[in-house]
Amino acid sequence: MNTVTTLGQFIIERQTDFPYAKGELSRLLRDIGIAAKIVNREVNKAGLVDILGEFGTINVQGENVKKLDVYANEQFIAALSAGGETCAVASEENEGLVHIDSEVSKNAKYVVCVDPLDGSSNIDVNVSIGTIFSIYRRTSFSGKVEEKDYLQRGTDQVAAGYIIYGSSTMLVYTTGKGVNGFTLDPSIGEFCLSHPNMICPQNGIIYSINEGNYVHFPDGVKQYIKYVQVEDSKTSRPYSSRYIGSLVADFHRNLLKGGIFIYPSTMKSPKGKLRILYECNPLAFIIEQAGGKASDGFRRILDLQPTSLHQRTPLFIGSSEMVTMAEEFMMKYSPVMAQ
């Protein structure tokens, strides 16, 4: 009989990867898994308005109905607070740091960045959405956590992962020892190991970009798009265009099948749209651990030095050979942007 490995069992088994670990990171990952199950329960009901009602109304239970991204944010912060293993959270939903000041948490050694429900505008049309998280050791040794505790390079991440709420709900994470995926089995309420040692194909035939912004793309991106659309059977072109408009869903498909996701700078988002701390860095950590690549078109994402919590960057991420080729187009046709 196939043995099922739950997320909890896997985390404990892998604790030996970190000889000096005393279990804090394991418990922190467990806390994230708990919040993911709670959010999953509500996300799966999102279409049943009579249960949730419209944001700002009172539902059948007499509760104030919250937008799901607000609800998700509260659940992750509550689970992390209850777990006591992190001293603060930087969230896409909060302008400043969310300090966790309980006696246990205020001396905790980890800080967490989270996009609690990315792509939440897709909820109403039943498109897959996701949570993205990133974990660092705090750099200050005492006192209140400050923004500088978060302004670390992506290479300093201790762990990173995402949850995708789709046809099934999966949690995918890395601690720097490869990437593993767990699928939620609702019948037992556990995330079970379903995708051990995930590897991103070095090449692919899927490109993901919002071509509605074409006129505002840098020339390097325009030329790359023209290249992938040319008929050439030797290089399997034209590629297939797949763009869901939900970062976690686009990323997850490309991780499994091979492909490149590009959100470049545009007129509307001159620095790119996606955030370094809780979107680009965690996904860059995962893709590199799976053998892929992530850059801003010129520089490795994980080497970027963030200067603010909600800082944005252009993002080229996915199969290593595809990202490298797109970077070559950027260097050839948009070299001025390399500065």
Q: Does 245 bind ligand P6P (CB under 6 A)?
A: yes
Q: Does 313 bind ligand P6P (CB under 6 A)?
A: no
Of 34-42, 57-65, 240-248, 317-325: span binding ligand P6P (CB under 6 A): 240-248
3-state SS, the chain, equals: CCCCCEHHHHHHHHHHHCCCCCCHHHHHHHHHHHHHHHHHHHHCCCCCHHHHCCCCCECCCCCECCCHHHHHHHHHHHHHHHHCCEEEEEECCCCCCEECCCCCHHHCCEEEEEEEEECHHHHHHCCCEEEEEEEEECCCCCCCCCHHHCCCCHHHCCEEEEEEECCCEEEEEECCCCEEEEEEECCCCEEEEEECCCCCCCCCCEEECCHHHHHHCCHHHHHHHHHHHCCEHHHCECCEECCCCCHHHHHHHHHHHCCEEEECCCCCCCCCCCEHHHHHHHHHHHHHHCCCEEECCCCEHHHCCCCCCCCECCEEEECHHHHHHHHHHHHHHCHHHHC
Comparing CB distances to ligand P6P, the nearer of 84 and 297 is: 297
In the complex, least distance from residue 95 CB atom to ligand P6P, rounded to whole angstroms: 17
Q: Which of residues 71-100 bind ligand P6P (CB under 6 A)?
A: none
In the complex, least distance from residue 242 CB atom to ligand P6P, rounded to whole angstroms: 12
Phi, psi of 248 (to 5 degrees): -65, -40
Phi, psi of 119 (to 5 degrees): 85, 20
Q: Does 121 bind ligand P6P (CB under 6 A)?
A: yes
In the complex, least distance from residue 172 CB atom to ligand P6P, rounded to whole angstroms: 16
Comparing CB distances to ligand P6P, the nearer of 37 and 252 is: 252
Q: Does 69 bind ligand P6P (CB under 6 A)?
A: no
In the complex, least distance from residue 102 CB atom to ligand P6P, rounded to whole angstroms: 32
In the complex, least distance from residue 87 CB atom to ligand P6P, rounded to whole angstroms: 27
Q: Which of residues 197-226 bind ligand P6P (CB under 6 A)?
A: 210
Q: Does 57 bind ligand P6P (CB under 6 A)?
A: no
Among 28, 151, 247, 284, binds ligand P6P (CB under 6 A): 247
d(CA 280, CA 293): 12
Q: Does 105 bind ligand P6P (CB under 6 A)?
A: no
Among 119, 204, 264, 272, binds ligand P6P (CB under 6 A): 119
In the complex, least distance from residue 164 CB atom to ligand P6P, rounded to whole angstroms: 11
Q: Does 241 bind ligand P6P (CB under 6 A)?
A: no
In the complex, least distance from residue 167 CB atom to ligand P6P, rounded to whole angstroms: 18
Among 24, 69, 93, 118, binds ligand P6P (CB under 6 A): 118
In the complex, least distance from residue 204 CB atom to ligand P6P, rounded to whole angstroms: 18
Residues lying near ligand P6P in the complex (CB under 6 A) are found at 118-119, 121, 210, 245-247, 273
